[in-house]
Amino acid sequence: MNKYRLSFARINIISGNLVEIIIDNETLVSLEMVEELDKFLDNSFNFSFGLLINKVNGYAYSFEAMMTMASLENIQAIAVINYTKHGEDVTDEIIKRRKIDQLNIKSFSALELGYQRALTWLQNQLVCV
């Protein structure tokens, strides 16, 4: 597994086409941070990949960040692992707000083997490409 550091998050390349993002605790994710992440992903992948957002830390999104994140063309699927009810609620809100974008996104509870279920779901989504 290759590991990278952005100004606000850790990036783990789990496999050739699976990327895990762990945002730092108590971060307010801004539009600039989303742009930093997009630049990293765009430079790292010129093919379809799956994004695993591991919400082990508590953080929030600015409205602009919420409306633009995960918009890269090569993102085939997004799995979000939530550890709290609040985290699930935020993920559900993002899914509702971004419905028009038709993101292939699914939420998983960490309390119900979410990490493994999320990885399996992502791998299945990438096979369907």
pLDDT for res 9? 98
Instruction: Report the number of distinct structural domains present in the chain.
Output: 1
Please spell the DSSP secondary structure of 29-51, one letter per residue. E-HHHHHHHHHHHHHH-SS-EEE
pLDDT for res 16? 86
Structure confidence by residue, pLDDT tens digits, 106-128: 999 998 778 999 999 999 999 86
pLDDT for res 69? 87
Structure confidence by residue, pLDDT tens digits, 46-102: 899 999 999 999 999 999 998 888 888 899 999 999 999 998 998 898 889 888 888
Range list of H helices, the chain: 31-44, 63-68, 85-97, 114-127
Q: The domain that contains 9 carries what CATH number? A: 3.30.750
Structure confidence by residue, pLDDT tens digits, 33-45: 999 999 999 999 9
129 has a pLDDT exceeding 70: no
**β-pairing verdict for 59-61 and 9-15:** unpaired
pLDDT for res 2? 94
**β-pairing verdict for 9-15 and 18-23:** antiparallel
pLDDT for res 70? 82
pLDDT for res 128? 64
Its domain, for residue 22, covers: 2-127
